[in-house]
Amino acid sequence: MIDGITYYQILGVPEDALLKEIQSAWRTFVKENHEDVVPQFERPAARERMFKINEAYAVLSHEEKRADYDNAHMLNGGSSIELVRRRVRKAREIMKRNLALITGEDMKLIESIIDYLDRTTQEACFDWMTNIVCEHREMARHVVASAFEEQLLGAKTALLDTLLQHAPYAITWEKIHLYGEDICGVSGKEHKERNYDQLARILCHRLDLAKYFVYAAYQEQASGCESCLLPTLLRVAPEEITQKNFDDYLDTVYTMRPIIYGQLRNYNEQAIAWILKARPDLVRKPEPPKAPKELPLPLRPKS
C-alpha cells in the first residue's frame, strides 16, 4: 500500500482481477508514461508514477506475493482458482442471453477467462463473439483483443476473419502493438509465422495505422520468421519506415555475431537490402567496431 492507496487502485484493477488484466493494466501505464510520449517537463512526474506502478505490478503479478499482500491488508476474499471458477460460471450465463442484451463489460469478463478454458469451450466463445459481430457491429470494438487471442491460441474459428470483413475500423493501434508483443512470446516458428501473416492481413485492412506495424515487422525478421509482414509493409506503405526505427533495427542486426548467428544474420541482411531497395533515401549506418577482447588478468601486459 502506498500513501493509503492499494496496489489494485494504483493499477486501476478490481481486487479479483486475473493476471491477464493486471498485465494489461501495467502495459497501458507503461505506454502512457513512456519518455517518447511524455513531454519533457512531465518526465520526472512520469518516472515517479512508474515507480509506484512497477512496485504494485511486482507484487500483484506474483501469485505468492499477491496472496501475502491480500492477507496483510484483508483484501480479495477468494483463492485465484475460485475466482476463475466464478467468472467461468458467469461467462456461461452471459453466453445464454439474448445477443442484443450483451454489454461491453460482459465481453470484457469473457475475454478475461479465455486462457483458462479448454479448447472446445474457447472455440465456442470465439464462435459466440463471431455471431455478435455479425449481428451487432457496434460491439466489434469489444472483441478485437479476443480476435487476436484466437490467433495466438491457434483456434479454428472465424472471429478475426469476420472482424476484418465487417468492422476492421474497430482495430486500434494499441491492440496492434500488444498483438505484436504477444507474438514474440509464441512458441514454434510455424505458429509464430502464421501470426505475423495475420498481422500482414490486418495491415492491408488498416493502412492508416501502417506506422504501428513497423516494429512488429522488424521483430518478425529478427526472430528469423519467413512470413510476409515486412514484404507487405514494403509493398503497401514503405514511407512509414523512419530513419530512427531503421537505425534501431540495424542496432539489433549488428548484435547478431556472424560466427554464432550466421544464418539469422544473413537473413536479416537480406531484409535490410529489401528495405533499402524500397526506401533508397534511408541511410545504413556503419556497424560499430568490435571492442578488442581483453586478456585475462594474469596475461595482461604490465603498464
The CATH code of domain 7-77 reads 1.10.287.110
pLDDT at 43: 81
pLDDT at 37: 75
Domain ranges for the chain, please list them: 7-77, 241-283
What does the buried/exposed string (b/e) look like for 170-190 if buried means 16 or more CB atoms within 10 Å of the residue's CB? bbeeebbbbbbeebeebeeee
pLDDT at 67: 76
Instruction: Name the grid cell of 221.
Output: 525478421
Contact assessment for residue 175 and residue 202, using Cβ atoms and an 8 Å cutoff = no
pTM, full prediction: 0.73
pLDDT at 74: 62
At 75-130, the pLDDT tens digits run 555 556 667 777 788 888 899 899 999 999 999 889 888 888 889 989 999 999 99
- Tell me how far CA of residue 74 lies from CA of 7, 71, 295, in angstroms: 13, 5, 57
pLDDT at 92: 86
- Other C-beta atoms lying within 10 Å of the C-beta of residue 22: 20
Nearest of 67, 97, 94, 95 to residue 81 by alpha carbon: 67
Query: Which residues in the chain land under pLDDT 50?
Result: none
Burial label, 147 (beta-carbon count in 10 A; 0-12, 13-18, 19+): buried
pLDDT at 170: 97
